[in-house]
Structure 1
């Protein structure tokens, strides 16, 4: 099994496990398709509910439809807990957390009634849109992306920390140079300007007016163009490495030493030597004892 989970017992639990956690049977594929459609429909309901004209006209319908989705996803999560031998491991996994986030906001709204909590209720409603993250578990490449993020988070963190230092330095420098009339009334505002400039977005709501400030802006923009590809390159390299690790084996050829063969390869692509040292070469000549 590709999943790191096991059913809690034989019989019904094993059958449900094959339907929910696997996708190599028509019934399992049908379950995945239905679940994907429900996730997309629930996200669409959340998005339409934020549109004033739709929320006013169909708010009651959206409310009950949302509760229908929440009950369905809650039942699904309960079944997952029932069939797994170690449900706590699932709760600690990425998709387990997403499953909880998918249903938690609607249930929490029952505990936060009243108009005075309108902002919190709105936040909880919007959080339900994160159900779209559940779609990653139905895409084979989604695992590669998560694995690549895990493997490259040290480099990305170092990159972001370096950017933070540069942004703070340039923000303090421009705050010291530019007059308050230009909009640089505080260092946090200057940090906002530095981030917008470094990412080459350039909203134009805060613009340096002094020659030195404009020169610094030019430098920041050039630096932004220079470093914006760094995290993309790091992440892309990890994705490629993950793909290669899934496709290729590190086993060295006993004949020439070449170690970049596909997982299912039986002969060396360089010299044609039989690679599986644990089994006898099928074309080996028979020897008389």
Structure 2
């Protein structure tokens, strides 16, 4: 008599696990198809909102736009609820970046019951959901570049804070100086002074330093023009500073990752992405990947 044990049968997947694989993963045919259809729906819904803001189109197709908007809102609501149901840790998904974006993408339409129809224009936040395209189509080189840039900015945050503090101090000093020089100067009838207070003068300093130059507020005295020229030169000299800081940090890090080694898998515990293709455990929380 043989004492060998029968092979252990694999436990069939539950409907929640199958739904999770379709919604949160892009490695399977069903998962990729779901995400592609979702991206198309997002693009169409954003297009509807954009066209609805055009008065001529809104007058002709107001009813059709409202029907389309409610269709997409209900569709995205069903998808949002399905993500919560199949997620192992629903609250982790709800408070994750994509979870918040998914919620904000459907709220504006429901808020029109309490506010004006203009709230519906906020639905264009759905465009943020298109960030999933990098994971769905495995654009690993873009994911790697984004990770390197984020790391460089975070690493050089102290330098950036010092730079912004310097700019803020310069804006305050320049704003106070222009308020002192130009604040009491009489202008032509119907022309506002623009330097009546330090905050208003700071607005002019920011617009001038960033080389935007709206021209809505301008100094008229020789001393005011001299101060304006100084802050213009100062602004030009500061333009390259943030770029130089981040570029130097990028060159210093020099981290390169093979895009083909990036997986599209989402951790069921912390809902984060960016794992290696051969990873068994999440590199962020240590949980086992599906």
Question: Given that residues 84 and 94 in structure 2 are in contact (C-alpha distance below 8 angstroms), is that contact kept between their aligned partners in structure 1?
Answer: no
The reply on whether 1:48 has 2:51 as its aligned counterpart is: yes
Higher relative contact order by CA 8 Å / sep ≥ 6: 1 or 2? Answer: 2
Q: Structure 2: any 5+ residue segments left out of the alignment?
A: 1-11, 188-192, 260-275, 278-290
1:135 corresponds to which residue?
130
Q: State the shift of 1:162 in Å.
A: 3.2
Report the Cα distance in structure 2 between the residues aligned to 1:227 and 1:102, rounded to whole angstroms.
Answer: 37
1:220 corresponds to which residue?
231
The reply on whether 1:62 has 2:65 as its aligned counterpart is: yes
Q: 1:30 aligns with which of 16, 28, 33?
A: 33
Report the Cα distance in structure 2 between the residues aligned to 1:175 and 1:147, rounded to whole angstroms.
Answer: 41
Report the Cα distance in structure 2 between the residues aligned to 1:138 and 1:240, rounded to whole angstroms.
Answer: 27
Report the Cα distance in structure 2 between the residues aligned to 1:203 and 1:220, rounded to whole angstroms.
Answer: 15
Q: State the shift of 1:228 in Å.
A: 2.0
Q: State the shift of 1:231 in Å.
A: 3.0
Q: Structure 1: any 5+ residue segments left out of the alignment?
A: 1-8, 249-262, 265-289
User: Map of 1:113-132 to 2, 5 A cutoff?
Assistant: 117-118=115-116, 121-122=117-118, 124-132=119-127
Provide Cα deviations, 1:253-283, integer angstroms capped at 9, x if missing partner.
Answer: xxxxxxxxxx99xxxxxxxxxxxxxxxxxxx
Total equivalences in the alignment: 234
1:103 corresponds to which residue?
106
The reply on whether 1:167 has 2:171 as its aligned counterpart is: yes
The 1:33–1:53 alpha-carbon spacing in structure 2 relative to 1, beyond 3 Å, is same
- TM-score normalised by structure 2 residue count: 0.71
Report the Cα distance in structure 1 between the residues aligned to 2:219 and 2:211, rounded to whole angstroms.
Answer: 15
2:242 corresponds to which residue?
231
1:15 corresponds to which residue?
18
1:209 corresponds to which residue?
220
1:268 corresponds to which residue?
none
- TM-score normalised by structure 1 residue count: 0.71
Report the Cα distance in structure 2 between the residues aligned to 1:48 and 1:136, rounded to whole angstroms.
Answer: 22
Which stretch shows the higher mean deviation, 238-247 or 166-175? 238-247
1:93 corresponds to which residue?
96
User: Map of 1:73-88 to 2, 5 A cutoff?
Assistant: 73-88=76-91
2:198 corresponds to which residue?
187
The 1:215–1:36 alpha-carbon spacing in structure 2 relative to 1, beyond 3 Å, is same
The 1:233–1:33 alpha-carbon spacing in structure 2 relative to 1, beyond 3 Å, is farther
SS of the residue corresponding to residue 218 of structure 1 reads helix
The 1:27–1:157 alpha-carbon spacing in structure 2 relative to 1, beyond 3 Å, is farther
Report the aligned-residue RMSD.
2.9
Report the Cα distance in structure 1 between the residues aligned to 2:173 and 2:66, rounded to whole angstroms.
Answer: 49
The 1:107–1:152 alpha-carbon spacing in structure 2 relative to 1, beyond 3 Å, is farther
Q: State the shift of 1:27 in Å.
A: 2.2
Report the Cα distance in structure 1 between the residues aligned to 2:107 and 2:82, rounded to whole angstroms.
Answer: 17
The 1:209–1:52 alpha-carbon spacing in structure 2 relative to 1, beyond 3 Å, is same
Report the Cα distance in structure 1 between the residues aligned to 2:122 and 2:157, rounded to whole angstroms.
Answer: 24
The 1:14–1:70 alpha-carbon spacing in structure 2 relative to 1, beyond 3 Å, is same
1:197 corresponds to which residue?
208
The 1:82–1:233 alpha-carbon spacing in structure 2 relative to 1, beyond 3 Å, is farther
The 1:126–1:206 alpha-carbon spacing in structure 2 relative to 1, beyond 3 Å, is same
Which stretch shows the higher mean deviation, 66-75 or 154-163? 154-163
Provide Cα deviations, 1:170-228, integer angstroms capped at 9, x if missing partner.
Answer: 11111111125243222222122111101101111211112221121112122222222
